[in-house]
Amino acid sequence: MGSNPDAAHGRDWRNGTVTRTLRYLAVVVALLLGTGLLRPAPASADDPGKWYDGGIRYTTITNCPSLIQGTPYLEKGAGAYAGYWADPDSGFPAAGQTFWIHYAFYGMGMPCSGGTYFSPTIYLPDGVTFDTSQQIRCGYDGSGGAAPQGNCPGWDHMSGGTYSNNQDSGLWGVAQGHHWEFQFPVKATHAISGADMLIAVRTADGNNSPTLNLLSSIYVFNGGGQPASGPQVLYDTPSTINAATAPDGSQTRYGFYSTFNAITNHVGGSLGVQLSPNQSTGWQLELPCGSYCTDTTGASLWTTWDEAGFPTLTAGATYYWRGYFKPTGGAIVYGAWQSFTVGASGSGATSEPGGLGSTGGGAPGGLSGGTSLGGTITAIKAAATVKAKAKGTLRAGRRGKLKVTVTSARGATGTVTVTEKGKVVGTGVLAGGTAVVRLKKLKAGKHKLVVSYGGDAAAGPAAGKVKVKVR
């Protein structure tokens, strides 16, 4: 982007100056309505009810295999986000109506615990309460249903906003490559405009075990679906969607498009997007939304970024963008900054928020896959450590012994294997976490041995190194 000659014609959003070039481009884009490039649409036509989610929060852990191999590196351990279900065009949710909030928690990395434990505490905005006349719903990898069942207990496990599991000391566990989704029915007593819902998720991963604070803004209409005070910009997760075709069926140049929804409250004006390399300067395009905004309570806009007013996107580069609504005679309402990293030619993008993808949980109050939790939940195993030392003096031409000790918070059973340069020189069975391994005959001198433990139902795999001297 630095070499693009249009960079000098960007907008400095801090001081509000717009160049003549962008004003002209905004007029040109206004004429492109219906071409499939930058296009508004009524929420009822192109943007039915869906989940509107906040940003993703991540934990960071040390990759366990890398730690065992002596080359440790950091990676994302888990990711989570929260949101609520809304249909702005239909004026839903309104005060007094039941609507749904949810959060999703993904296992991403490989900590030595085998996965991550977690527990949520939900802080609802003032005037919003749980609707206990309907049941909580839980899903694992997109399959699940209403409580109580399996690892999905009912309201008797909700206390002070903390929802506890019915096993594992009240915690849930998720392994790498899997995810949970939880849906909770709620009601609001009055209209709400942009109030934050917070779900604080405590984690236990054998590393820093942080608390992930998941935020999502909630908009509730007045009774009868009338607008609350003030418009609002909402995003789905992900807000940038990998697709070969745009919503109108046209080809996407970069393999993705970005979209947002504006609650317009039947007020006319313009919808627009800003694109930036740094969240302060860049490019902006907008167009009047006409009856799309005045005839409904909400309208959406999407773009493939293949517009005359935007630079050619560079593969591997990260761009920031946000949607906005400029009501006639009112102040501009901006959405939160989003971002995406462009893939190779036409291959799509990695987006933030939304890098985890869809939960697969379907409509609120339901989860795909039937009425029971599907699949087997991978057990979260305790981290193990392996220590070894020679038992007595090791002598050349004789079979010596090695004492191996495996420890974990949940004990350890199973077998241990001793190798030298990849060749097995002994095996043993643990009893009380200890095994005495009888070694093959070794030559005189120093030897570097690797002791590997394969793990069991409670403890994860581990390995240790020991140096021995054969006389």
The residues with which 12 forms a beta bridge, in sequence order, are: 17, 281
How far is 116 from 113, CA to CA, in rounded Å?
Answer: 7
Is there a contact between 72 and 100 (Cβ–Cβ < 8 Å)? no
pLDDT at 359: 40
pLDDT at 458: 67
**Strand, coil or helix: 155:** helix
pTM flag (> 0.75): no
pLDDT at 161: 93
C-alpha dist (Å) from residue 458 to 89, 166, 317? 51, 19, 43
Superfamily covering domain 384-470: C2 domain (2.60.40.150)
Q: What is the pLDDT along the chain (471 residues), one digit of tens a residue?
A: 222 323 333 334 332 323 322 222 232 222 233 233 344 444 434 456 778 888 788 899 998 888 877 888 898 899 888 888 888 767 788 888 889 999 989 888 888 877 888 999 999 998 999 999 988 988 887 777 788 877 788 999 999 999 998 777 788 888 888 888 899 999 999 888 778 899 999 998 888 889 999 988 888 887 654 555 567 787 776 788 888 888 777 888 898 888 888 888 778 888 889 999 888 888 888 888 877 777 767 777 888 898 878 889 998 888 999 999 898 888 898 888 888 888 887 676 666 543 444 444 344 444 433 323 322 333 445 668 899 999 999 999 899 999 999 987 667 889 999 999 989 999 999 998 999 999 999 999 999 999 999 887 667 788 999 999 999
Q: Among 441, 279, 318, 453, which residue's Cα sits nearest to residue 383?
A: 453
Long-range contacts of 31-39 (CB under 8 A, 24+ apart): 32/287, 32/307, 33/287, 36/246, 36/248, 36/249, 36/250, 36/304, 37/303, 37/304, 37/306, 37/307, 38/273, 38/285, 38/287, 38/301, 38/303, 38/307, 39/247, 39/248, 39/301, 39/302, 39/303
Rounded Cα distance between 83 and 215, Å, is: 8
> Would you state the pLDDT for residue 130?
96
pLDDT at site 6: 32
Query: How many CA atoms, within 13 angstroms, populate the side-chain half-sphere of residue 163?
Result: 26
pLDDT recorded at residue 372:
31
CA triple 325-326-329, angle to 5 deg = 145
Half-sphere exposure of 273 (CA within 13 A, CB side): 32
Per-residue buried b or exposed e for 312-344, using 16+ beta carbons within 10 Å of the residue's own CB: ebeeeeebbbbbbbbbeeeebbebbebbbbbbe
Secondary structure of residue 65 in the 3-state scheme: helix
Q: Which 8-state DSSP code applies to residue 400?
A: -
> What share of residues in the chain are helix, strand, coil (percent, to 5)?
10, 45, 45
Q: Which amino acid is at 233?
A: V
The whole-angstrom separation of Cα 173 and Cα 229 is 41
Separation in Å, CA 340 to CA 27, 140, 316, 321: 27, 27, 10, 8
What pLDDT does 48 receive? Answer: 62
3-class state of residue 157 by DSSP: helix
Q: Yes or no: say if 91 and 297 are a contact pair by the CB < 8 Å rule.
A: yes
Distance of CA 361 to the CA centre of its chain: 14
